Structure 1
Amino acid sequence: MEKLMFIQTGFGVDVHGQDVTKAAIRAIVNAIHTNSMPGITDVLPNHDLNKMKVNIKLAVPCDKDKLDIEKVKATIPYGTVTVEVMDGGMLTRSGIFLEDKEDKNDLMYIVNASIETGY
């Protein structure tokens, strides 16, 4: 990324089902869903949103091998998207095991996200 313009942060939780991808997508949505970048096209090469570069950094507590990177990337509608995965996040108890919610145990998966945007 030649020019870093925005960094947005968020977190996502999967309370039941222990799905690290679901928690990661929720973290990304949490980071970006209350933001607008109306001037971004003014500074992008050729005023083209697809010239935007987006780097997603995810701090994941476990199951990194089960993280669906393509689903994570699809959360961002424009630009070239890269994903970095690192140790972090949190595992904590939900306090209840719900078989009908496909729980494997009573853990919640919490993922942290940092979204870097620029060109």
Structure 2
Amino acid sequence: MSEQRFIIEMGMGNDQYGQDYTKAAARAIEDAIRHSAIPMFEATGLSSDQMRVQVTVGVQAPERVDCAALAENLPRGQATVTAVQGGLDVTNPDTGKVLVIASAAVEAFLPKQAEKAS
């Protein structure tokens, strides 16, 4: 059965002091999902277990992101998280410390529903 994307949200997060790419990514995901409410589950009787959640996070060091830990923390659906090259690293010229900035796209998919007869 084919799927249909029904929501996409974007978010941004950072870690100002710890240079932790997973923490910055988690904050970007949280920023994206905190802007969403999905009342259709209550309205239609569909289960959120049927929803596939696909998250893409962009950071300068994608290999340093714990994608499995991020997926476990998503509140609904069957989640996968992928880290890709993106985001920003901004170096403080006074201290040499790096501010890690991540961006996230959170997409949700459901199996296509039967079309309503006219």
Q: TM-score, with normalisation over the residues of structure 1?
A: 0.81
Aligned partners of 2:8 and 2:33: how far apart in 1? 10
Q: Number of aligned residue pairs: give it.
A: 109
Aligned counterpart, 2:105: 114
Q: Secondary structure of 1:16's match?
A: coil
Identity %: 28
State the 4+ residue runs in structure 1 displaced beyond 3 angstroms. 40-43, 94-97
Deviation at 1:58, TM superposition (A): 0.8
Residue equivalent to 1:68: 66
Where does structure 2 lack aligned partners over 5 or more consecutive residues? Answer: 111-118
2: CA distance, partners of 1:66 / 1:56: 16
The one-letter code sitting in structure 2 at the alignment partner of 1:72 is L
Q: What is the CA RMSD across the aligned residues, in angstroms?
A: 1.8
Alignment match, 2:36: 35
> Where does structure 1 lack aligned partners over 5 or more consecutive residues?
98-104
Query: SS at 1:113's partner residue?
Result: strand
**Would the aligned equivalents of 2:65 and 2:83 in 1 still touch at CA under 8 Å?**
no
What SS is found at the alignment partner of 2:3? coil
Bigger-Rg structure (1/2):
2
Q: What does residue 78 of structure 1 align with?
A: 76
d(CA) in 2 for partners of 1:94, 1:4:
40
Task: Give the conservation status (yes or no) of the 8 Å contact 1:28–1:75.
Answer: no
Alpha carbons of structure 1 residues 2 and 42: separation in structure 2 relative to 1, 3 Å? farther
